[in-house]
Amino acid sequence: MDAILVINAGSSSLKFQVFGIADAKLTRQVRGQIGGIGTRPRLQAKRADGAVLVDQSYAAEAVGDLPAAIAAAREWLLTLDGFELRAIGHRVVHGGPDYAQPVLIDTTVLDRLASYQDLAPLHQPNNLAPIRLAMEINPDVPQVACFDTAFHRGHPEHTDCYALPRAFYDQGVRRYGFHGLSYEYVAERLNEIAPEAARGKVVVAHLGSGASMCALRGGRSVESTMGFTALDGLPMGTRPGQLDPGVVLYLISEKGMSANAVSDLLYHEAGLKGLSGISNDMRELLASDEPRASFAIAHFVHRCSLNAGMLAAALGGIDAFVFTAGVGENSAPIRARIVERLTWLGAELDPAANEAGAALISTATSRVALHVVPTDEELMIARHTLALIRSRAA
């Protein structure tokens, strides 16, 4: 069977999925990852029906870094029978100011993507590592880069900029926005399940470990809560969300923290984890009796509702509000608490539908349709990859 391999490479995990192609349609075949790179490496993969294909642990030094994880994953993937690799699709966090679409990768494109490394130093090098390796090993297999930023590139300049001297914008200091593959998938899915709403004004809340919201008009992104980096906007598992830049200046100039220490604080020690002092994991916080856990949740809900209001203003009202990602898809109590703060927009929750995990959780009289749409960034990458290799073949 012809197949597309989708790769999402991070610093502590390498995720991969295999999609089969039959009659130009994609079906997920395998889902896997190597987690705990450098600490407790573990390769796990399942077939689409849930059957376990591999579950193997390694010594920390055996899979000590991302290149070693790529090698281990490759070794295992080569044992998979029955797939003819036609292309590899990669999640690449930053498409810089240039890429508003996924792109077939060649050495020129790769050099340009590498030049965005300083825009996303924690993510971009990891995203590019498997591309380089596959180029060396399998130069004939086409590779496609799909960006988290691309979906937002159509924002008008006056919404895309910071109020800084113009030269900074020209140097790339812009509000890029992220989670674009998730929003693009949700927009397509909404068009299937609620086409009328999809044509209108929609706010999508991607609430996972990373969290952001996006305002869609007619299925296109017009605003997002994230900006130059994936630190801005909503509080997240370990990131603070919106923060007065004066805090950063204070920490550096008055508290003597190094830029690296501040970066570590903002990426790894803040958000729900920092506020609660308990966990970055919403499930654990919801299960905890500790007042600090409910305090962190209250802050999260507060910031979500403020940002929803901001995006409603960007759209001039909303027709639909969509929950997606780990928290959005699975947590009825968090959804209920956010919707409670959207009553002024005309949102009315159907508590039974919400508790039951229904796809539509608003009442029949709600002025805002409330949807829960499971996201699928990997399928979005596979779709883009297939479309690009087909257009190349045409």
Annotated binding site for ATP: 15, 206-210, 281-283, 326-330
Under the criterion CB under 6 A, does residue 348 sit at the interface with ligand ADP? no
Under the criterion CB under 6 A, does residue 212 sit at the interface with ligand ADP? no
Q: How many Å apart are CA 198 and CA 149, to the nearest integer?
A: 21
Smaller CB separation from ligand ADP, 327 or 347 = 327
Residue ranges at the known binding site: 8, 15, 91, 206-210, 281-283, 326-330, 377
Under the criterion CB under 6 A, does residue 325 sit at the interface with ligand ADP? yes
Under the criterion CB under 6 A, does residue 283 sit at the interface with ligand ADP? yes
Smaller CB separation from ligand ADP, 35 or 125 = 35
- Interface segment toward ligand ADP; rule CB under 6 A; list 23-31, 42-50, 307-315, 323-331: 323-331
Of residues 108, 73, 72, 114, the one with CA closest to residue 94: 114
For ligand ADP (CB under 6 A), the number of binding residues is: 13
Under the criterion CB under 6 A, does residue 336 sit at the interface with ligand ADP? no
Q: Are 145 and 131 in contact (CB under 8 A)?
A: yes
Under the criterion CB under 6 A, does residue 14 sit at the interface with ligand ADP? no
Under the criterion CB under 6 A, does residue 109 sit at the interface with ligand ADP? no
**What are the structure tokens assigned to 129, written together?**
């590592």
Q: Are 286 and 331 in contact (CB under 8 A)?
A: yes
Scanning the chain, the segments in alpha helix (DSSP H) are 66-77, 107-114, 124-137, 157-160, 166-170, 180-193, 195-199, 245-253, 259-264, 271-276, 282-287, 291-315, 325-330, 332-340, 351-355, 377-393
Under the criterion CB under 6 A, does residue 210 sit at the interface with ligand ADP? yes
**What are the structure tokens assigned to 247, written together?**
């805090």
Under the criterion CB under 6 A, does residue 327 sit at the interface with ligand ADP? yes
Smaller CB separation from ligand ADP, 105 or 285 = 285
Q: Which of 23, 148, 232, 289 is catalytic?
A: 148
- Interface segment toward ligand ADP; rule CB under 6 A; list 24-32, 136-144, 194-202, 325-333: 325-333
Q: How many Å apart are CA 13 and CA 69, to the nearest integer?
A: 8
Smaller CB separation from ligand ADP, 217 or 288 = 288
Under the criterion CB under 6 A, does residue 330 sit at the interface with ligand ADP? yes
Q: Say which DSSP state 360 is in.
A: B
- Taking the CA atoms of residue 347, residue 353, residue 358 and residue 359 in that order, the dihedral angle to the nearest 10 degrees is -20
Residue ranges at the known binding site for substrate: 91
Under the criterion CB under 6 A, does residue 281 sit at the interface with ligand ADP? yes
Q: How many Å apart are CA 326 and CA 374, to the nearest integer?
A: 9
- Interface segment toward ligand ADP; rule CB under 6 A; list 203-211, 260-268, 341-349, 384-392: 203-211
Under the criterion CB under 6 A, does residue 208 sit at the interface with ligand ADP? yes
Under the criterion CB under 6 A, does residue 10 sit at the interface with ligand ADP? no
Residue nearest to ligand ADP (CB): 326
Question: Is 244 one of the annotated active-site residues of the chain?
Answer: no
Q: Are 119 and 71 in contact (CB under 8 A)?
A: no
What b/e sequence results for 99-133 when a residue is b if at least 16 CB atoms lie within 10 Å of its CB, and e otherwise?
Answer: beebbebeeebbebbeebeebbeebbebbbbbbbe
Q: How many Å apart are CA 362 and CA 98, to the nearest integer?
A: 39
The burial class, CB within 10 Å (0-12 / 13-18 / 19+), for 23 is exposed
Q: Which positions lie near ligand ADP, rule CB under 6 A?
A: 208-210, 237, 281-283, 286, 325-327, 330-331
Annotated catalytic residues are 148
